[in-house]
Amino acid sequence: MQHIDLIIIGGGPIGIACGLEAKKKGIDYLIIEKGPIVNSLFNYPMNMQFFSSSEKLEIDEIPFISKEAKPKRNEALEYYRRIVTSNQLNINLFEKVLSVEKETGNFKIKTEKETYTSQYVVVATGFYDIANTIEVPGEDLSKVAHYYKDPHFYSMQKLAVIGASNSAVDAALECYRKGADVTMIVRGPEIGPRVKYWVKPDIENRIDEGSVKAFFNTTVKEIKDDSLVLNTHEGEKTIENDYVLALTGYKPNFNFLKKMGIQLSEDGKFYPQYNEETMETNVKDLYLAGVICGGMDTHLWFIENSRVHAKMILSDIESKVKK
Write the pLDDT tens digit of every residue in 8-37.
999 999 999 999 999 999 999 999 999 999
Residues 126, 137: one domain?
no
Residues 87, 232: one domain?
no
- Residue that is last in its domain, among 187, 217, 246: 246
What CATH number did the domain enclosing 181 receive? 3.50.50.60
Query: Residue 22: what pLDDT?
Result: 98
Residues 22, 122: one domain?
yes
Residues 81, 185: one domain?
no
Residues 141, 122: one domain?
no
Query: Residue 130: what pLDDT?
Result: 86
Coil/strand/helix, residue 278: coil
Residues 216, 278: one domain?
no
Residues 166, 313: one domain?
no
Quick one: pLDDT band at residue 118, thresholds 50, 70, 90? Answer: very high
Query: Residue 277: what pLDDT?
Result: 96
Residue ranges of E strands in the chain: 2-3, 6-9, 29-32, 91-92, 97-103, 106-111, 115-118, 120-123, 130-131, 144-145, 158-162, 181-185, 213-215, 219-223, 227-232, 235-240, 243-246, 250-251, 286-288
Query: Residue 302: what pLDDT?
Result: 86
Quick one: pLDDT band at residue 135, thresholds 50, 70, 90? Answer: very high
pTM: 0.89
Coil/strand/helix, residue 221: strand
Q: What is the pLDDT of residues 171-220, one digit of tens each?
A: 999 999 999 999 999 999 999 998 999 999 999 999 999 999 999 999 99
Strand partners, 102: 107
19: containing domain: 2-130+250-322
Quick one: pLDDT band at residue 127, thresholds 50, 70, 90? Answer: confident
Residues 73, 146: one domain?
no
Please state, rounded to an integer, the average pLDDT across all residues of the chain.
Answer: 95
The pLDDT of residue 103 is above 90: no
| Count of structural domains, the chain | 2
Instruction: Name the percent of the chain lying above pLDDT 70.
Output: 100
Quick one: pLDDT band at residue 299, thresholds 50, 70, 90? Answer: confident
Q: What are the φ/ψ torsions at residue 184 (nearest 5 degrees)?
A: -95, 135
Q: Please report which residue ranges of 7-146 form alpha helices under DSSP H.
A: 13-24, 39-42, 73-86
DSSP assigned state of 202: H
The pLDDT of residue 323 is above 80: no
Query: Residue 51: what pLDDT?
Result: 86
CB 19 within 8 Å of CB 89:
yes
